[in-house]
Structure 1
Amino acid sequence: MRIGNNPAKENSNLEIESYHRVVIPVYIPNLDEEYFKDGLKILVLCLESLLSTIHSKTRVTIINNNCCPEVVNYLQKIYKSNDLVDQLLQSKVNLGKINAIYAAVKSNLEPLISISDADVMFLPNWQKEVEKILDVFPQAGMVSPVPTSLGYRSEYIYSTIYYALTKGKLKFSDVQNPKAMINFQKSIGRKKMYNKQHLSKYLTISKDETKAVIGCGHFVATFRAEVFKKSPNEVCKLKIVGGSESDYFDIPNDKANLLRLATTSNYAYHLGNTIEQWMIEELDKIKKSNFTNNPLKSLSNVKYVKKQGYFIGKILHRVLFKKAKKIYFSYKGMKADY
């Protein structure tokens, strides 16, 4: 039996104070196996650096994707003690990375959604610089705070290539922080990811006084909510990798006719699964740093690259960046082995 009227019906409009949401799925099933033994320590670095570097118009969603009791206890502590962490989603089974993320992405209203692995250290000004690119380039749908000179090789930057070539702003620019790229290379267990040229130059586009790097990875990136309107309707059948991130992040962004970019300087570290002393020292610096991270007064409305841009960009990418790469890069002032 129902008695009276639900007060919520008197004002049923949804209103939010935030415009930027950060979503972090966490899968640390135990602390005994070699791979996971430092998992909780790395997670602490990740969340503490995040909460030290975001502005007041941000909210955080953490997803407990079948974690062990020690990790669950820590996540509950963070959730209860910090108002910016307004969602802690719990699952007793491993939903897989993509399904866990989409459970949050599809149910929130913020126009900007950052998705990050749980082994990322956020540096001061990461949010400011990412939001700046999204604001200056309203065609941008995916922006990472971690640049890579190999972003041009990505298969799903066709709309980006079309925009860059037709606007005439594509050029090689000096890498601002080559050491950060070397550290990323080490963090994923690679030895020969970048050559000397890669550590010297990367492809950029510019508008007014703002410059952005072409392409980006997806271990940490900020998306416009419009990207996910192009995402698959089916649940992801893979727990991790296997092309799932491309299917649910990279391809939707490209087919939405939006740009895939990165900041020119490095504003986050990929930590991996083993804690090192420098990480602890870096977090201490972050907490002590004196920087301002004010929310945007307004975010520019999304604009789309022309619909034919995806298909024309695909052809241009195949010709200029693969078949005729040596000739084209030489024309742009780079050696053939870039």
Structure 2
Amino acid sequence: MRVGNNPHKDKTQEQTTFLHQVIIPVYIPNQEGYFKDSLKILKLCLQSLLKTIHNKTYITVINNGSGKMVIEYLDSLYNNGKIHELIHTENIGKLNAILKGLAGNNIELVTISDADVLFLDNWQLETTKVFRALPKAGVVGIVPQFNMFKNKCGTVIFDNLFNKKLQFIPIKSTEGLIRFYDSIGWDRSYNADYLKYSLGLEKNNTTVFVGSGHFVATYKKQMFQEIKSYLHFKLGGNSEEYLDTMPLKYDYWRVTTYDNYAFHMGNVFEDWMSEISHDSNNKIAIDSNFEQNKIANSLIVAVKNKVFFKFLGSAFISRLFYRWKKLPTTMIKNYSTIALSQYKN
């Protein structure tokens, strides 16, 4: 039976003091083969995160069916107050794990990261600077990559097509680019021009690259007010498409910081990973209340990201675009067309 009333009945939640959430799904089922170094890399990931975030950051880790050693390590972090939320589940898939982490709070910014990211100093500060300088930014990456402007970037290119500040600019961190593609197993036979220039945008004294990857990026949490409850793929498929297309529905821009603020480690430990140092004095919290868009008219979204992008993707038009946006003439013929073969709307 029940006696009396629950003292918390009908009471509203207190406003959170956290400004930023970081969600990291973890799947390390064993310490063999592909996963041999994964626990060591996970530890480097979380250690680097703890060294580079301000004290208004809420850390959520989702154990997505990992083995005993990983569970014990994550439990120790939670029990010692290093992370704020730890969710244990069977292997339900990367994006389903992320969806669990997204629910249950109203923190304005959320960084979604793989468990093999090595965070560098100032990543959080530079990310929030971009959101402040570019009110239409909905997702901000911290690792520049090749040709990011060719994927899900119809909105930002359409909105800035006649803006002289939208143009090809020199890559700032060639080392960061090289390390990223080494980490995912590419040899270095790719077009060397991609290490020199990419499409950038300058606004309010802040420079960014157009487009963003999704292995580590920060989103306006408002986009996930109505989230899916389940996605069918454990990894890949259309699961990552969900994160990539959500900003478009709100007419947001996908951009990346001009400099490189993280490294992708992959699944094999290398000595340089443990040699990265951090400055504990640079954890600066920036105020919140960034501008938010409402869900955009579906026709506008289609025009910018299907009709316009298809037009821009023709070989002839894309070459004109490259020339107009100041890509060096010697590089134009070596760039592929705007639309990637794997681009999907």
Identity among equivalent positions (%) equals 36
1:30 is matched with 30
| SS of corresponding position for 1:4 | coil
1:61 touches 1:86 (CA, 8 Å); kept in 2? yes
2:166 touches 2:325 (CA, 8 Å); kept in 1? no
2:131 is matched with 134
Aligned-partner Cα distance in 1 for 2:23–2:182:
25
Distance 1:226 1:103, change over 3 A: same
Gaps of 5+ in 2: 336-345
Distance 1:31 1:45, change over 3 A: same
* Alignment root-mean-square deviation, CA: 1.9
1:144 touches 1:222 (CA, 8 Å); kept in 2? yes
Letter in 1 for 2:267: N
Aligned-partner Cα distance in 2 for 1:309–1:147:
28
Shift of 1:191: 1.9
Is 1:94 the counterpart of 2:91? The answer is yes
Is 1:173 the counterpart of 2:183? The answer is no
Shift of 1:111: 1.1
Shift of 1:47: 0.3
Aligned-partner Cα distance in 2 for 1:15–1:230:
20
Shift of 1:166: 5.0
Distance 1:278 1:322, change over 3 A: farther
1:28 touches 1:39 (CA, 8 Å); kept in 2? yes
1:311 is matched with 302
Shift of 1:260: 0.4
TM-score where L is the length of structure 1:
0.91
2:52 touches 2:282 (CA, 8 Å); kept in 1? no
2:53 is matched with 54
TM-score where L is the length of structure 2:
0.89
1:113 touches 1:224 (CA, 8 Å); kept in 2? yes
Any idea what the Cα deviations from partners look like across 1:123-151, whole Å, max 9, x if unmatched?
A: 00000111111121121111111112410
1:99 touches 1:235 (CA, 8 Å); kept in 2? yes
Letter in 1 for 2:87: L
| SS of corresponding position for 2:13 | coil
1:297 is matched with 287
1:271 is matched with 265
Any idea what the Cα deviations from partners look like across 1:152-173, whole Å, max 9, x if unmatched?
A: 121x222122222154531111
| SS of corresponding position for 1:89 | strand
Which of 89, 108, 115 is matched with 1:118 structurally?
Answer: 115
| SS of corresponding position for 1:52 | helix
Letter in 1 for 2:303: I
Segments ≥4 residues shifted beyond 6 Å = none
1:44 is matched with 43
Aligned-partner Cα distance in 2 for 1:278–1:48:
15
Q: Which moved more, 1:328-337 or 1:309-318?
A: 309-318
1:230 touches 1:255 (CA, 8 Å); kept in 2? no
Spell out the pairing of 1:57-72 with structure 2 (5 A cutoff): 57-72=56-71
Q: Which moved more, 1:132-141 or 1:23-32?
A: 132-141
| SS of corresponding position for 1:249 | helix
Aligned-partner Cα distance in 2 for 1:114–1:169:
27
How many residue pairs match? The answer is: 328
Aligned-partner Cα distance in 2 for 1:237–1:149:
29
Which of 196, 202, 217 is matched with 1:200 structurally?
Answer: 196
